[in-house]
């Protein structure tokens, strides 16, 4: 059984470092995280020592973090009509072979993202998270709506920026790729 455990400012520093200097999407999310009040938390086994929760670079915290993360993200997409989950596909470059192979992939300039909706089941969420997360980087965000994507599966940076302003939940890979830290916007 995993408990939802609220984290302190050490986790805020971790999130800010995780989002800094990566790409446009992460920079836009960083503005939201630092500019708006939110609760930072993780899911961990009951009885996990508090100090262990701040060892973000060490593994072994959770038995099935990817599936738990997928459930958390999907629940938030389902809870808000029109909401979507945008996942950073960090290892891909838009326009290179394979960057647009997935039906849910879209590009913003040279960057690649994946779009999940309430029509996708939890296994689809887990598969995208697994395919896009690397041990040191993995970002998924629930936004109020999808960016406008044209017939070539691309969106403008302006469209992405507009959508990111509505972010309600953000997860970043942590614990040596075996877990995540989340930020949830407090109700406005």
Spatial distance between the Cα atoms of 115 and 185, rounded to a whole number of angstroms: 20
Report pLDDT for 135: 66
Report pLDDT for 123: 95
| Separation in Å, CA 119 to CA 81, 125, 154 | 11, 10, 21
| pLDDT value at 61 more than 90 | no
Collapsed DSSP state (helix, strand, coil) of residue 53: helix
| pLDDT value at 63 more than 70 | no
Give burial (CB, 10 Å; 0-12/13-18/19+) of 18. buried
Q: Indicate the pTM of the whole model.
A: 0.94
Spatial distance between the Cα atoms of 74 and 80, rounded to a whole number of angstroms: 10
Give per-residue pLDDT as tens, 2-22.
889 999 999 999 999 999 989
Report pLDDT for 83: 97
Residues of the domain holding 120 = 2-185
Domain count of the fold of the chain? 1
Task: Find the mean pLDDT for residues 64-78.
Answer: 91
Give per-residue pLDDT as tens, 173-182.
998 888 899 9
């Amino acid at each position: 059984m995993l408990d939802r455990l609220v984290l302190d400012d050490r986790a805020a520093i971790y999130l800010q470092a995780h989002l800094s200097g990566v790409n446009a999407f992460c920079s836009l999310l960083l503005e939201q995280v630092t500019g708006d009040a939110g609760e930072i938390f993780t899911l961990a086994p009951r009885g996990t020592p508090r100090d262990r929760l701040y060892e973000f670079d060490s593994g072994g915290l959770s038995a099935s973090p990817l599936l738990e993360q997928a459930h958390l993200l999907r629940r938030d997409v389902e809870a808000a009509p029109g909401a979507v989950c945008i996942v950073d596909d960090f290892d891909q470059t838009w326009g290179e072979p394979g960057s647009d192979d997935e039906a849910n992939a879209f590009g913003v300039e040279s960057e690649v993202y994946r779009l999940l909706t309430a029509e996708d089941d939890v296994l689809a969420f887990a598969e995208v998270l697994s395919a896009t997360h690397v041990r040191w980087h993995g970002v998924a965000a629930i936004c109020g709506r999808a960016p406008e994507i044209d017939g070539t599966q691309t969106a403008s940076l302006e469209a992405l920026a507009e959508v990111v302003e509505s972010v309600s939940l953000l997860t970043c890979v942590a614990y040596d790729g075996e877990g995540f830290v989340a930020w949830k916007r407090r109700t406005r």
